C-alpha cells in the first residue's frame, strides 16, 4: 500500500473538489483511487486537483486533474481556485504560476478572498476543439438532439478552453432542459472524439449569462469554471454580450473577462470543508481529527 497523501475537500461555488498534495512523490493518483473516492458520499467530488512538484521552469507546481470517472481532464477553473486558496493558506503567497495539461496559467488570491485564474486563450478551429469533421465557422455548428423539425437543442457554439465545450444558447429557462438525459448523449456524440462538456446557456442581459453544465467525466455539477469561460467567450463571439460578463451557475456567480490580449480571466470564491489522507493507489482514506497536532 502506498503511503497516504494529504488532501483537502473543498468546493468552488459547489463544484466539489479534492486537492491532493502529491509533492515529493513520483506516483500519480490512479483512476481506481479516483473512482473509489467519488463513490464515497463523504469524499464524492467532481475533480481531483493533484499538486505535484514543478516540471517547467518558472512555475510553482504541476497540476494533474482527474474526473470522478477516473478519466483525466485538461482544465478545471473552479478546481484551480481551490488549489490557490490551499497553497496561499500554506505559504502566504498570493500569486502563482502553474503548469496544467492545458498549458501554463497564472492565478492570484485577492484581499477579499476571491481568486482570479487566467484560463488562457480560447481556441476555435475545429481541429483544436476537437471536432470529428471540419467546420469553417464554430460559432454555430450543425448538431441537434430531438426531432428534425423541432429539435430540443441545436446549433451549439463550440470552443476549447483547454478542454472541449459545446454551448447551446436558449431563450427560455435553462432548468427546462433535461440535462441529466441530454448531457450524456451529447458528451459522447461522435462529433466530439475527445467527448465534450455540454452547457445550456441563456443570455439575460448584455453582461449576464445563466447556465447549467453536464461536465465530461463528472456529470451534472453546480459549477464548471471552464464552461463558464466557454459560454462567455461564445456569447461575446456571437454578439450576444460584451467581453465582460457575470455568469451565474447553479452554485452562484462568476466574473468572466475576455481581455483584449485574448486571455480569459475568471474570478470567484473557493471554500474549504475538511481534510484527510488517502492512498493514491486505492483511494482508501481517513479524515483528519480536527484540533489534532
The x, y and z cell numbers of residue 57, run together, are 521552469
Let me know if residue 93 belongs to a domain: yes
Q: What pLDDT digit, counting tens, does each position of 78-119 carry? A: 999 999 999 999 999 999 999 999 999 999 999 999 999 999
Q: What is the pTM of this model?
A: 0.92
Let me know whether 54 and 96 are in one domain.
Answer: yes
User: Looking at 74-149, which runs of residues are DSSP E strands?
Assistant: 95-100, 103-109, 115-118, 144-145
Let me know whether 90 and 146 are in one domain.
Answer: no
Among the listed residues 210, 212, 102, the one whose alpha carbon sits nearest the alpha carbon of residue 160: 102
Let me know whether 131 and 257 are in one domain.
Answer: yes
The pLDDT assigned to 154 comes to: 96
Q: What is the CATH number of the domain that holds 245?
A: 3.10.310.10
Let me know whether 37 and 104 are in one domain.
Answer: yes
Domain that holds residue 145: 126-262
Let me know whether 135 and 251 are in one domain.
Answer: yes
The pLDDT assigned to 2 comes to: 72
Q: What pLDDT digit, counting tens, does each position of 270-281 carry? A: 999 999 999 999
Let me know whether 140 and 46 are in one domain.
Answer: no
Let me know whether 258 and 131 are in one domain.
Answer: yes
Sign of CA dihedral 167, 122, 114, 260: negative
Let me know if residue 69 belongs to a domain: yes
Domain count, the chain: 2
Let me know if residue 292 belongs to a domain: no
Half-sphere exposure of residue 267: CA atoms within 13 angstroms, side-chain side: 15
Sign of CA dihedral 74, 77, 83, 87: positive
Let me know if residue 245 belongs to a domain: yes
Of the candidates 76, 107, 231, 254, the residue annotated as catalytic is 76
Low-confidence stretches of the chain (pLDDT < 50) are 292-293
Q: How far is CA 80 from the centre of its chain?
A: 8
Of the candidates 88, 224, 228, 235, the residue annotated as catalytic is 224
Let me know whether 147 and 176 are in one domain.
Answer: yes
Let me know whether 55 and 89 are in one domain.
Answer: yes
- Does 224 qualify as catalytic in the annotation? yes
Let me know if residue 293 belongs to a domain: no
Let me know whether 48 and 150 are in one domain.
Answer: no
Let me know if residue 142 belongs to a domain: yes
The pLDDT assigned to 293 comes to: 44
- Does 82 qualify as catalytic in the annotation? no
Amino acid at each position: 500500500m502506498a503511503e497516504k497523501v494529504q488532501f483537502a475537500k473543498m468546493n468552488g461555488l459547489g463544484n466539489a473538489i479534492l486537492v491532493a498534495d502529491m509533492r515529493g512523490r513520483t506516483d500519480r493518483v490512479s483512476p481506481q483511487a479516483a473512482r473509489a473516492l467519488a463513490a464515497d458520499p463523504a469524499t464524492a467530488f467532481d475533480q481531483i486537483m493533484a499538486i505535484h512538484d514543478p516540471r517547467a521552469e518558472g512555475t510553482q507546481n504541476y497540476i494533474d486533474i482527474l474526473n470522478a470517472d477516473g478519466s483525466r481532464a485538461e482544465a478545471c477553473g473552479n478546481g484551480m481556485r481551490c488549489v490557490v486558496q490551499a497553497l496561499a493558506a500554506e505559504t502566504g503567497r498570493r500569486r502563482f504560476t502553474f503548469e496544467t495539461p492545458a498549458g501554463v496559467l497564472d492565478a492570484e488570491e485577492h484581499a477579499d478572498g476571491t481568486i482570479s485564474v487566467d484560463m488562457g486563450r480560447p481556441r476555435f478551429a475545429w481541429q483544436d476543439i476537437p471536432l470529428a469533421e471540419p467546420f469553417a465557422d464554430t460559432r454555430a455548428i450543425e448538431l441537434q438532439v430531438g426531432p428534425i423539425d423541432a429539435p430540443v437543442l441545436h446549433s451549439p457554439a463550440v470552443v476549447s478552453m483547454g478542454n472541449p465545450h459545446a454551448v447551446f444558447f436558449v431563450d427560455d429557462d435553462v432548468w427546462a432542459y433535461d440535462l441529466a438525459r441530454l448531457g450524456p448523449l451529447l458528451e459522447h456524440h461522435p462529433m466530439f472524439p475527445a467527448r465534450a462538456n455540454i452547457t445550456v446557456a441563456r443570455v439575460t442581459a448584455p453582461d449576464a449569462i445563466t447556465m447549467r453544465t453536464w461536465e465530461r467525466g463528472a456529470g451534472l455539477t453546480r459549477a464548471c469554471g471552464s464552461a463558464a469561460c466557454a459560454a462567455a467567450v461564445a456569447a461575446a463571439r456571437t454578439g450576444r454580450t460584451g467581453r465582460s460578463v457575470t455568469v451565474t451557475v447553479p452554485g452562484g456567480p462568476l466574473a468572466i473577462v475576455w481581455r483584449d490580449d485574448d486571455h480569459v480571466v475568471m474570478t470567484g470564491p473557493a471554500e474549504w470543508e475538511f481534510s484527510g489522507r488517502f492512498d493514491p493507489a486505492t483511494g482508501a482514506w481517513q479524515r483528519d481529527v480536527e484540533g489534532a497536532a
